[in-house]
């Protein structure tokens, strides 16, 4: 019987017997081995190349503009836009590094600037999206997601309370709703409130602003108005909400002030509205409530612009200087004592204080303490 012939030209089977399926000679083994080695080397080179590129990106320095105004804008952007376009895992990791307090019931974080608490139209990343990841980082992969206990505005920084269990979150929410939580905010204002301490007790209502840019804003709905030199009571707006804010000037210059705010109520944008429309001292960086009729970058005096190192055309880069610096939670659950939660100022806030020549009291000591200069971090 003739030996079978293979269809591959130049390939011969040695020996008198042919074994089905045996198409390669021993000489083919080095070929397979070298191919595998080649693939391994290529993968290794690619991995090394990617590591080198990543290292280069980390060490590569962003060119520093020679123009001082451009340098200042770059500084503001760096301080305020670090976490707005990152991967959710990166944000969760950053939040875990800045935890202010953690126990078996609560986790208290330092909310960064520019991140909304909830999702919505146009929102790519928010705090609530990363709560499942944050919980796993703190308690392992089987951990249930954390729950929000209250909210802060997108542009507000500072103390924010989360709960491990939904029932505990509801209990903390009830404390906020019944005004049993003592809250303190710090704000830098344009101009100085007069008097230097007091209470703003003016209802707030949401209205539509007519004009080229139709939009809605919260505004004051006072119970009295002046008529020929006399105060006349007006009919209450049914849509208005009772809003009460206690304030005190901690430090001031002729054109700006550091103000401590204690909201008694919790109405949307209450602090911003009371300061801007009630005391005629808008918060630095409040581009929405600095002018009732339009949405535009905040207008600042020449002296303030000079101190901040900016031109009027660049004021849109100034962030809102409103910081939730302290919360005091009453005894709750297994905790028999009240819990004081404090948070340091963000970098951009401390830098603005230094530039404007404002001082602040020690956060640990609270009101009535001696003032000290702020060192920007």
Query: What residues are annotated to the active site?
Result: 153
Return left, alpha or beta for 19; rule: phi > 0 is left, psi -120 to 50 is alpha, else beta.
beta
Own/partner pairs, 289-297, CB within 8 angstroms, 24+ separation = 289/217, 289/218, 290/190, 292/209, 292/217, 292/219, 293/209, 293/211, 294/209, 294/211, 294/212, 294/213, 295/213, 295/215
- Phi-psi bin for 319: left (phi > 0), alpha (psi -120 to 50), beta? beta
Residue 159 DSSP SS3: strand
Phi, psi torsion values for 63, nearest 5 degrees: -60, 135
Apex CA 253: angle with CA 251 and CA 259, to 5°?
35
CB 155 within 8 A of CB 114: yes
User: Nearest Cα to 234, choosing from 262, 202, 266?
Assistant: 202
| Measured distance CA(50)–CA(60) in Å, rounded | 15
The Cα–Cα gap between 241 and 225 comes to: 18
**What is the C-alpha to C-alpha distance for residues 223 and 207, in angstroms, rounded to an integer?**
16
Distance CA 275, CA 6 (A): 92
């Amino acid at each position: 019987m003739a030996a079978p012939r293979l269809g591959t030209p130049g390939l011969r089977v040695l020996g008198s017997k042919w074994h089905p399926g045996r198409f390669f000679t021993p000489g083919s083994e080095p070929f397979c081995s070298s191919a595998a080695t080649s693939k391994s080397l290529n993968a290794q080179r690619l991995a090394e190349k990617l590591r080198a590129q990543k290292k280069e990106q980390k060490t590569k320095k962003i060119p520093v503009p020679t123009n001082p105004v451009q340098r200042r804008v770059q500084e503001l952007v760096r301080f305020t836009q670090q976490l707005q376009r990152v991967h959710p895992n990166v944000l969760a990791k950053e939040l875990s590094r800045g935890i202010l307090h953690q126990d078996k019931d609560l986790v208290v974080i330092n909310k960064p600037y520019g991140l909304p608490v909830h999702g919505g139209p146009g929102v790519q990343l928010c705090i609530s999206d990363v709560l499942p990841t944050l919980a796993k980082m703190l308690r392992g992969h089987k951990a249930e997601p954390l729950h929000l206990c209250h909210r802060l505005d997108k542009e507000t920084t500072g103390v924010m309370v989360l709960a491990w269990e939904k029932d505990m979150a509801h209990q903390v929410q009830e404390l906020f709703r019944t005004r049993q939580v003592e809250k303190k905010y710090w704000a830098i204002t344009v101009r100085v409130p007069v008097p230097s301490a007091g209470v703003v007790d003016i209802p707030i209502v949401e209205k539509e602003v007519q004009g080229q840019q139709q939009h809605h804003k919260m505004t004051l709905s006072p119970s009295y108005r002046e008529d020929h030199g006399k105060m006349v009571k007006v009919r209450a707006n049914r849509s208005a909400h009772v809003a009460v804010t206690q304030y005190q000037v901690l430090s001031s210059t002729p054109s700006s002030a550091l103000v401590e705010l204690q909201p008694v109520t919790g109405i949307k944008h209450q602090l911003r509205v009371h300061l801007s429309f009630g005391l005629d001292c808008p918060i630095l960086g409040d581009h929405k409530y600095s002018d009732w009729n339009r949405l535009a970058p905040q207008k600042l005096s020449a002296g303030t612009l000079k101190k901040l190192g900016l031109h009027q055309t660049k004021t849109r880069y100034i962030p809102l200087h409103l910081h939730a610096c302290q919360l005091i939670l009453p005894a709750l659950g297994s905790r028999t004592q009240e819990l004081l939660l404090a948070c340091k100022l963000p970098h951009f806030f401390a830098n603005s204080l230094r530039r404007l020549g404002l001082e602040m009291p020690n956060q640990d000591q609270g009101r009535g303490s001696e003032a000290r200069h702020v060192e920007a971090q």
